[in-house]
Amino acid sequence: MHALESSVEHPAAAAAPAPSSAPAPSPSSARALAEILASRSLRMVAVLLALWTGLALHPDTRDAFLTAGNFSNLTAQISEIVIIGVGMTLVILIGGIDLSVGAGIALTGVVAAKLQIDHHLPAWVACLGALGVAGLIGLWHGLLVTRGRMPAFVATLGGFLAYRGLGLVLSDARGLSPMNADFQRLGARLPAGTSTGICLAAGLCGLALVVARQKRRRALGLEVDATIRIALTLFAIGAVTAFAAVIYQDGMPVPVLLESLAVALGAVLLRRTRLGRYAFAIGGNTEAARLSGVPVAATTIAIYALTGLLTAFAGIVAAARTNGVTPGNAGLMRELHVITAVVIGGTSLSGGRATIIGTVVGALVFGTLSNGMNLMNVNSNWQLIFTGAILVGASLLDSMTSKRRA
Amino acid sequence: MTTPDGARLELSGIVKRFGGVTALDGASFAARAGEIHGLCGENGAGKSTLLKVLAGVHPHSSYHGSVRLDGVELTMRSTTDARRAGVAIVHQELTLVPEMTVAENLLLGREPRRFGFIDDAAVEARARALCDRFVGQGSIDVRTAVGRLGIGVQQIVEIVRALQDEARVLVLDEPTAALTGSEAARLFEWLRRLRSAGTTCIYVSHRMDELFALCDRITVLRDGKTVGTVETAKVTGQDVVRLMVGREMAIGTHPSALSADAAAVLEVRSLSVDGAIEDVSLELHAGEVVGLAGAMGSGRTALLSTLFGCATTKVSGEVLLGGAAVQLSSPRAAIAAGMALVPEDRKARGLVLELSVAENLALPLPLADADEAESIAERRIAELRIRGRAGSAVATLSGGNQQKVVLGKWLHHPPRVLLLDEPTRGVDVGAREEIYGIITALCKKGVAVLMASSDLSEVQRLSHRILVLRRGRVIAELPAGASQDDIVAHSTGLPTSPACTP
């Protein structure tokens, strides 16, 4: 405030053209480091690493937990949560909610299964069918919320009840299996060589993006990022790439590939497209967004439709992994698991704040708890208690640290 | 460029209805190129609706009448259309997204893209160029989240955003509502500069002094109609007020004298609140109004909130009510001790908008049953001349009447100390006089009033003494007759004469 006051004292500056400025030196590393350490996602990464360390040291789990196969499983187990989580992050960002995704998994699984088992259609047609149904469902939610001016909670609560019912009706409440061979491949593993290639290619992409960002900033006369930030980013990219190459040495599960693609898509959408920028604006201040010419209704509808499509992907992956669908159980409670992952990841339920990477970390925390408890043969009831405690703890941390802004 | 009569912007015969309510009933006015044209009227006169027509919020098909810019009829269907046509609006409520950075806010809805994706570096570079050009070199860190900036800076970001389109018409709706005197003065300087560059500026305000300091002409609206456009140089404030309200207003000037032996009701000793106020001491006597002046963020609101038990950080110091020390740990405790607060933001903190007038009035009362609450409400409505029924939702009342409800909440058991924070912000001239009347009447009954206000004429008008705050400290105590120049000089830290400093 005071800095500004002194500068506004010279209105003559308004008339003068902006002099070309030389690239400013990068901000002090100490400040950059402080910013990085204050990052919400990083704090949850620390929680995740602490959990992993605990499980790696605990006598009941130390043999089984820290193995490539277990991590490969863990990341495949959370694929449904992550895939839908990408859409849910956007939905929650704009101040909405989607309670229907668990039922959506069941319904889209049934549609895909019916098309290939009863109608003997190829796998790709079955997938398109599921995607079509879920896309329409998402569109419907978007219309209810915008044109119907309905609270998202109610609009999707209707879906929560109806879609599982619809799945049960379509399947006569019977389990459907087995899926055809092509479809089952969506739940299988990639060849080992391909997996390693994908990991390395992804790492190189990350590296290229970091370099391109610095070049672009320099070209426009902006200061480049602090060295420490660049170094830590590169270290993180390297570490994740190496870790992935190791845990998928026997072949990456296809669900993991799909979940990674969903994450990449979500991150780009959120940070590098107008849809994402508009979502932040709508979540932060809807009225301001509207008055700035942001197409609020269209953006909202698109986000619900996208969540529908991602639900279908998750339904397909779930059906492929288990080689069948039991409509009464498929995706049961998944909507709550997804919301838990998103909230642990730091997305604000009151809108305006979200990261995709946070959601991924949230899903990993969720998955690690269930994986670790299973390895320890702990009663799954304890799993609920621990997950609940972490969810509340993470939210409490948020409300305590953001108190100053209130 | 312009039509023969020199009108750049011409609105004629605008009629706009919401259901059965006619908000605009043939409103018209014309503004020239290079003119600052004032627009005023009481709340409910139709100013906001007229602005929304101009802004494209109400699409062309939803109203009757015509809007012409440089002689060309505008048929805007959206806010984007209005922007493209060269009409830029700065709304009264800030329309920034607090979680987004200055750069993201400035370029919201027009992000530069590269290979189809938002080019963040270009967003930042462009935003920086805009701030450099309009505000001053390196003045604002465009990577800061807007929510972390003060209201004054946010207002400037808002205006810079409107200016970036080389707007032909700039519409400002109460732009100084949240600004300090010096910020407002700079804004005026800036607007005059724009005027000489040929921009037409429509300036909406309640404040006569601003309208007269800035505007070439003023159009007055009443009940959705234009009652007249006057040359500022040829009329007085009284004339304009008469046009606005349609009747003569008696404008009193100074508070009545205090009896010399009035007892001290509230004593504050060395009150400090982490990050907000430092070492504030003051004394408040029965029947006295003490005005708190100072810039935004000077600690006025923080002081009042702390006295009402709302501090969020560590508090030290001593507060005595009627000679006895009190612990101000919560609003509940403050109310029990005999304090009442009329907060700055009545919609967010003063009222429960969904509840009725009667229910709002009964909020501080212990479990009044519905009938009792209604009879109390009826009494309050008659006493304060609230224009609204006991059963109607408080949200449907005008700003002035809502404010009377907030005041009325505390009158069943009149408090010993009444804390007022911007008691007439967004309140029209007529209701403002009535609120002043209520405050004066309470003082006569012995209530002590501590009033924070950024409207200096209000501070002058009501206060027996004026405390000026700067950066959380009381830096001057001025007597009732202090001039606005004096108050501003102290609050900005540039005293006009050394004798004034304490």
Tokens for A320, please give them.
């492929």
Q: Does A13 touch chain B if contact means CB atoms closer than 8 Å?
A: yes
| Cross-chain Cβ contact B108/A4 below 8 Å | no
* Chain-chain contact of A273 with B120 (C-beta, under 8 angstroms): no
B99, B189, B297 member nearest A280 (Cβ): B99
Q: Which helix (H) or strand (E) holds B159?
A: helix B151-163
Average pLDDT, chain A: 89
> A92 CB near a chain B CB, below 8 Å?
no
Smallest Cβ distance to A220: which of B91, B121, B137?
A: B121
Chain A residues whose CB is inside 8 A of the B113 CB are 274
Nearest Cα neighbor of B343 from B266, B239, B420, B265 is: B420
Q: Evaluate whether A164 touches A327 at the Cβ level (below 8 Å).
A: yes
> What phi and psi, each to the nearest 5 degrees, are found at residue A22?
-70, 150
- Strand duo B113-114 + B7-18: pairing: unpaired
User: What pLDDT does B249 receive?
Assistant: 47
Cβ of A14 under 8 Å from any chain B Cβ?
Answer: yes
Return the pLDDT at B498. Answer: 40
pLDDT at B102: 95
Q: Pick from B296, B284, B209: which is nearest to B451 by CA?
A: B284
CA of A281 vs chain B CAs: smallest distance (Å): 6
Q: Who contacts B205 (Cβ-Cβ below 8 Å, separation ≥6)?
A: B38, B40, B174, B175, B176, B211
Under 8 Å between Cβ of A374 and A141: no
Cβ atoms of B464 and B485 within 8 Å: the answer is: no
All residues of chain A having their beta carbon less than 8 Å from the beta carbon of residue B198 are none
Please report how many Cα atoms fall inside a 13 Å half-sphere around the Cα of residue A135, on the Cβ side.
Answer: 6
- Are B309 and B337 within 8 A, CB to CB? no
The list of chain A residues with pLDDT below 70 reads 1-28, 401-406
Find which of B108, B130, B155, B180 to mutate to test the A interface (most A CBs within 10 Å of its CB).
B108
CA distance B74 to B227: 24
In 3D space, the residue among A337, A354, A349, A326 whose CA is nearest the CA of residue A388 turns out to be: A337
- Look at residue A15 in the predicted model and tell me its pLDDT: 37
- What does the pLDDT read at residue B43? 65
Tokens of A183: 């479809």
Q: Closest residue of A to B92, CA-based?
A: A288
The reply to whether the predicted model has a pTM over 0.80 is no
DSSP H stretches of helix in B270-330: 300-307
Predicted local confidence at residue A136, as pLDDT: 97
Q: Could you give all domains of chain A from N- to C-terminal order, each with its CATH number?
A: 29-188+253-405 (1.10.3470)
Question: Which string of DSSP letters, residue by residue, matches A282-321?
Answer: HHH-HHHHHHTT--HHHHHHHHHHHHHHHHHHHHHHHHHH
Mutation test of the interface with chain A: which of B118, B131, B142, B158, choosing the one with the most A Cβ atoms within 10 A? Answer: B118
pLDDT in tens, A79-111: 999 999 999 999 999 999 999 999 999 999 999
Each residue's pLDDT expressed in tens, for chain B with a length of 502 residues: 444 457 899 999 999 988 777 889 999 999 999 899 999 887 668 888 898 899 888 998 899 999 999 989 998 888 778 888 889 888 877 889 999 999 999 999 889 999 889 999 999 999 999 888 777 777 789 999 998 887 777 888 888 888 887 788 999 988 887 676 777 787 888 788 878 878 899 999 877 788 888 999 999 998 889 999 999 999 887 788 778 776 544 444 566 666 666 788 999 999 998 878 899 999 999 999 999 988 777 889 999 999 998 887 888 999 999 889 988 889 988 998 999 999 988 888 888 888 888 888 888 887 667 788 888 889 999 988 888 888 888 888 888 889 999 999 898 888 999 999 999 887 877 788 889 989 998 998 889 999 998 877 888 889 999 999 988 899 999 988 787 777 777 776 654 444 333 3
Q: In angstroms, what separates the C-alpha of A352 from chain B's closest C-alpha? A: 6
Amino acid A406: pLDDT: 36
B354: helix, strand or coil: coil
CB contact under 8 A, A4 and B122: no
Query: Which candidate in A291, A349, A401, A403 is best for mutational testing of the B interface (most B CBs within 10 A)?
Result: A291
pLDDT at B3: 44
Under an 8 A CB cutoff, do A284 and B97 touch?
Answer: yes
Q: Which of A7, A9, A280 sits opposite B100 (nearest CB)?
A: A280
| Predicted local distance difference test score (pLDDT) of residue A325 | 95
Task: For residues A350 and A101, give the distance between their C-alpha atoms in angstroms, rounded to a whole number.
Answer: 20
Compute the distance between CA of residue B368 and CA of residue A50 in angstroms, rounded to an integer: 54
A 252-291 residues inside an 8 A Cβ radius of B: 268, 271-274, 277-278, 280-281, 283-285, 287-291
